[in-house]
Amino acid sequence: MPSPHPHARGEIPERHWPKPEGEVGPPQAASLDELRAQAEVCRRCPLWRDATRTVFGEGPRDAGAVFVGEQPGDQEDLAGKPFVGPAGRVFDQILETAGIERDKVYVTNAVKHFKFEPRGKRRIHSKPNAGEIQACRWWMGQELDLIGPDIVVALGATAAQSLLGKAVPVTKMRGRTFEREDGVRVFVTIHPSFILRIRDSADKEAERERFLDDMKAVKKLMA
């Protein structure tokens, strides 16, 4: 059983941010640490209730690339860190092979609380809906403002939808870079968990190679 949410344990003061439509919330943070502290008490959508904690992004403020996944998984929720589960390990290996140093990039998720359905003792991943993705854009937008990376990498459909503001067919669009109206460049690719779900070993290896090619392209886009 996951431990109770920090709010429930009385470790974090109760605060209520207004609904996302109001676009009024805590003041603009001056640092990633300040932003992380604000996000720890976020209630912009209902996902905070069942998750253990907010899993905020990690990495240096001067990162050349920001990688955005979908949401924390079971292990990330417990550890409080993004990309530490099985998909995170695949991601780390491929990043290293592509020559991208993990501690020089920033990794985060489009949605910062773990959404799941309980099944016996297990917590099964559940895809965030459009409202939850929209609510959590509040945080990612500020992460990007503070970091100002050369390139933002959307890992999978949820990240692409959050970053580009519309549903994107990732398998068709992968490997392409989109420039948003605010000048942010977004490179679209799959989420590394997609590789883990492929059963056939030859297909899995082929997909690893495609993802490696994408990461090599991202390295070139980093100044």
Chain positions 29 to 88 lying near ligand SF4, rule: CB under 6 A, are 39, 42-45, 47-48, 54
> What is the Cβ-side half-sphere exposure of residue 16, based on CA atoms within 13 angstroms?
2
Nearer to ligand SF4, 146 or 221 (CB): 146
Count of residues in the chain: 223
159 binds ligand SF4 (CB under 6 A): no
3-state helix, strand, coil in the chain (%, to 5): 40, 15, 45
Size of the residue set binding ligand SF4 (CB under 6 A): 15
Q: Which of 112, 123, 174, 191 binds ligand SF4 (CB under 6 A)?
A: 112
Q: Which residues are CB-contacts of 174 (< 8 A; sequence separation ≥ 6)?
A: 188, 189, 190, 210, 214
To ligand SF4, the closest distance from the beta carbon of 109 in angstroms equals 9
Q: Which is nearer to ligand SF4, 54 or 189 (CB)?
A: 54
Measured from the CB of residue 150, what is the shortest distance to ligand SF4 in angstroms?
25
For position 95 contacting ligand SF4 by CB under 6 A, the verdict is no
Is residue 101 helix, strand or coil? coil
| Cβ atoms of residues 143 and 35 within 8 Å | yes
**Distance (Å, whole) CA 16 – CA 150:** 34
Residues in contact with ligand SF4 by the rule CB under 6 A: 39, 42-45, 47-48, 54, 111-113, 132, 135-136, 139
